[in-house]
A and B are shown apart, each in its own frame.
Chain A
Amino acid sequence: MPILCVQGIQGSVGNSTVVANVARLLQELNQDVLVFDLNPNNLLRLHFNMDWQNPVGWASHITHKKPWYQAAFKCEQGVQFIPFGTLDYTEYEHLIHEVIYENWLSQQLENLNFPASKWIILNTSNELNTLSVQALNACNMIIRVCTPDLSCLSQLVNSIQSNYINSRPELSDKAFFLINKLSAVSQLENDLSLVFKNLMQKKLIPVNVHDDENIKEAFAFKSTVSLYASKSAATKELRSLAIWLLTQFNVQSS
């Protein structure tokens, strides 16, 4: 079963946006996709037209003593998603420190007993905590999302997250890098994308996702870019990313 963990090198790199759009494009390529939001910012659901006021999610279900898997939704286009839910600070601390035991995530995924062809995409916070560490270990592939700027490069070379992943071959071997929000007109960003390519070589996913107004507007419409602007450059780039994923997992898009 393909299990992807998508984690930003730092915040605001467009992690949830990449997850939502890739999930939707994989689904367009006839794949069965479930997106599991492990990020407490709880933004992913908004790409799938869930009401902003709706507090439901797997974490809030656990807090209210309900089975967490009953917080699953299906958007109109067929992508299944499990939002994080709305928690306050005390509830979140309790969840992280008292509820999520060792190997909780891999056990829950196993218990769901999904078919081998189902894609699971874990949307993970850039901060290392019990949940994100479990996601990194439970997946078959890590996509580390970065923007072509110096703060990201700095975090890439030396940060708690990078040091954690790079010091564990079982994680660094399955980690790939995605450049997101690349500006075509920025000299610095184009220079940095060359530097990233030189540093990461085969670990850099051969698709850059450019900064595109259509992606931002799609989110404003609580949708994904392939629905909002199906012929846009962003849709083509994200579709290429989805196809690259199919090739990595040797899946045919029937």
Chain B
Amino acid sequence: MEYENNDVKALCKNSNIDPINYKEIKESETITKIKKKWPLLDQILLINNQPFIQRTK
């Protein structure tokens, strides 16, 4: 799919993504990249540690 411009709101509208969530999606992509760089970090942040993450927010 091609977009006419790189405007975030327009991209989100075309992709059916809520623009409010756009920042969160970007942040989690960054974290995913960081996790891939450091194997121990990736292990510590496994999905079964999610309860910890919810509690600290």
Contacts and interface: CB of A to CB of B under 8 A. Distances in A.
Interface string A170-193: 001000010000000000100110
A194 interface: yes
Main secondary structure of the interface of B (DSSP, over half): helix
A179 to B, nearest CB: 14
A153 B44 contact: yes
Nearest to B53: A199
Main secondary structure of the interface of A (DSSP, over half): helix
B31 to A, nearest CB: 5
A191 B37 contact: yes
A195 B34 contact: yes
Contact of B52 (A166, A177, A192, A194): A166
Tell me which of A158, A195, A200, A201 has the highest count of chain B C-beta atoms within 10 A of its own C-beta: A195
Interface of A: 150, 153-154, 156-158, 162, 166, 172, 177, 188, 191-192, 194-195, 198-203
8 contacts: A150-B38, A157-B44, A158-B52, A166-B56, A191-B37, A195-B41, A195-B45, A198-B31
